[in-house]
């Protein structure tokens, strides 16, 4: 074979790849819903995660209902002599600064336990948490100061276990009580905690940790669903068989589609970063050129996986269901959105079987400078997976009618 022939072959291949790429892009641009949902998905994700988990902590105030049945009175009404009032003040009652600091708003439940039990009151009023200071509690506290054999002075906490934040509120009340206990007995604070931020991460916020994960989750979801949808639709309409009767090669077809997925990935990344920057002041210094190979090989990985799924599950509905059953566990287990350390040990092992685990690890390492030295292993795995899944997807794609 002459060099000219090779050059001509490359030119023809590039022409075919360009044709598939540009027709896919043009078709996509002209399909309103596809355009809208491709872009709206990362925006919704970043806004949701930003608001829920980090960017606006001041807005996430918990409401704690309290009922003070304690009728303890002292002449001077000083808080220090009235443990019930002291507890409530330490939880932020009539103290806006402290209330903001604790993210806790106290609301008087204002009902009588003689008429309605606390359990029924919380149920009837759909209240998730209630702190009840029983009658005689302050007296019992004062009694226990002088008499160590006196029974414990307990307060009551009623909660709805279906609200996951109950644990945080209970811990908060617990901490305040511990502090009061120590103060009552005049014990000084000997041991405290001193916090230091990880080097080079001082300027980072919660959102800076979510952006890399959301980029990769979007690319994995869009990549797999996009390729599965495209492959099954082209088979169902017969388009693929018309294509199969032309001289185009399978790898040229797959390259064009995976190239398109990579371009989509870049667009999604830009959009996610911009949304994070506009809405939550995302740290733009985290952008790094190594993000590009991660996006390209990540797209190849998920595109290739999409082709493999489409090979074995031929009906579009079934193929989409199969994709979702892979995409969803991967999203939650891979560490892209939630730290894998919080998972049970066996799930941490399973997480390592998902490609997104390594790809989001690589992306996070590249974007968050302090872990940059850790980028090479996940990046290497990402590149290897991209190549392997692309080749497998291309080979396994069947253009013949079976």
Partner 1 sequence: MKEEYAIVIKNLVKKYDDLIAVNDISFKIKIGEIFAFLGPNGAGKTTTVEILEGIRKKTSGQAFVLGLNIDKRKDLEKIKKIIGTLPQEFNTHENLTVKENLRFWSRMYAYSLPVDDLIALVKLEEKTKAKFKNLSGGLKKRLGIAISLVNDPELVFLDEPTTGLDPRARRETWEVIEGLKSQGKTVFLTTHYMEEAQVLADTVAIIHKGKIMDIGSPTQLIDRHGGENRIVVRCNDQETRDKIHDLLFNFGPLENEDGDIVISSKKGALSKVVDLLDENEVAYSDIITQRPTLEDVFLSLTGEILIIDEKSVED
Binding stretches for partner 1 (CB under 8 A): 8, 12, 15-16, 18-19, 23, 26-27, 30-31, 237-239, 241-248, 399-401
d(CA 332, CA 364): 16
C-beta of 116 vs 243, nearer to partner 1: 243
Whole-number minimum distance, CB 38 to partner 1, in Å?
15
What residue ranges in 99-179 does DSSP mark as E strands? 104-108, 129-133, 156-159
Whole-number minimum distance, CB 244 to partner 1, in Å?
5
C-beta of 163 vs 239, nearer to partner 1: 239
C-beta of 235 vs 364, nearer to partner 1: 235
Vertex 293 angle, CA 288 and 299, to 5°: 120
User: Which pair of structure tokens corresponds to residue 198?
Assistant: 């990880």
C-beta of 243 vs 290, nearer to partner 1: 243
CA distances from 141 to 106, 135, 148 (A): 22, 12, 11
Whole-number minimum distance, CB 254 to partner 1, in Å?
15
d(CA 137, CA 143): 10
C-beta of 243 vs 392, nearer to partner 1: 243
Q: H helices of 185-315, where?
A: 206-237, 239-244, 250-280, 291-312
156: which strand partners?
A: 132
Whole-number minimum distance, CB 322 to partner 1, in Å?
24
List b or e across 32-58, with b for residues whose CB sees 16 or more CB atoms inside 10 angstroms.
eeeeeebbebbbebbeebbbebbbeee
C-beta of 257 vs 364, nearer to partner 1: 257
C-beta of 254 vs 269, nearer to partner 1: 254
Whole-number minimum distance, CB 374 to partner 1, in Å?
44
C-beta of 5 vs 149, nearer to partner 1: 5
Estimate to the nearest angstrom the gap between the alpha carbon of 158 and the chain centroid.
30
Whole-number minimum distance, CB 243 to partner 1, in Å?
7
Whole-number minimum distance, CB 22 to partner 1, in Å?
8
CA neighbor of 311 nearest in space, from 394, 195, 216 = 394
Instruction: Please report which helix (H) or strand (E) contains residue 4, including its range.
Output: helix 3-29
d(CA 79, CA 189): 21
Whole-number minimum distance, CB 314 to partner 1, in Å?
16
CA neighbor of 83 nearest in space, from 137, 16, 20 = 137
Alpha-carbon Rg of the chain, whole angstroms?
30
């Amino acid at each position: 074979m002459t060099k000219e022939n090779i050059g001509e072959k490359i030119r023809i291949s590039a022409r075919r790849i360009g044709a598939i790429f540009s027709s896919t892009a043009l078709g996509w641009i002209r399909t309103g819903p596809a355009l809208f949902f491709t872009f709206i998905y990362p925006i919704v994700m970043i806004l949701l995660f930003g608001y829920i988990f980090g960017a606006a902590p001041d807005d996430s105030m918990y409401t704690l209902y309290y009922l003070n049945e304690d009728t303890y009175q002292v002449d001077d009404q000083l808080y220090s002599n009235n443990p019930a009032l002291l507890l409530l003040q330490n939880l932020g009652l009539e103290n806006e600064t402290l209330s903001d600091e604790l993210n806790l708003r106290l609301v008087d439940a204002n009902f009588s336990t003689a008429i309605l039990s606390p359990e029924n009151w919380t149920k009837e009023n759909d209240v998730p948490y209630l702190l009840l200071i029983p009658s005689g509690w302050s007296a019992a506290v004062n009694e226990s100061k002088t008499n160590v054999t006196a029974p414990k002075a307990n307060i009551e906490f009623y909660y709805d276990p279906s609200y996951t934040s109950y644990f945080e509120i209970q811990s908060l009340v617990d901490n305040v009580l511990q502090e009061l206990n120590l103060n009552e007995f005049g014990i000084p604070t000997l041991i405290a905690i001193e916090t230091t931020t990880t080097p080079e991460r001082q300027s980072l916020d919660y959102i800076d940790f979510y952006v890399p994960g959301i980029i990769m989750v979007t690319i994995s979801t869009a990549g797999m669903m996009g390729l599965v949808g495209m492959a099954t639709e082209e088979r169902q309409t017969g388009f693929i068989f018309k294509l199969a009767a032309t001289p185009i090669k399978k790898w040229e077809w797959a390259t064009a589609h995976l190239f398109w997925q990579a371009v989509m990935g870049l667009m999604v990344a830009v959009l996610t970063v911009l949304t994070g920057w506009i809405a939550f002041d995302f740290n733009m210094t985290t952008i790094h050129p190594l993000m590009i190979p991660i996006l390209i090989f990540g797209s190849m990985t998920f595109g290739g996986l999409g082709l493999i799924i489409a090979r074995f599950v031929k009906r579009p509905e079934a193929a989409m269901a199969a994709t979702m059953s892979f995409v969803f566990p991967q999203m939650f287990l891979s560490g892209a959105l939630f730290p894998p350390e919080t998972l049970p040990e066996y799930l941490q092992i399973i997480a390592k079987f998902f490609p997104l685990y390594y790809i989001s690890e690589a992306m996070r390492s590249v974007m968050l400078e302090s872990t940059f030295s850790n980028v090479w292993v996940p990046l290497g795995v990402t590149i290897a997976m991209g190549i392997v899944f692309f080749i497998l997807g291309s080979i396994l794609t069947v253009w013949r009618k079976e």
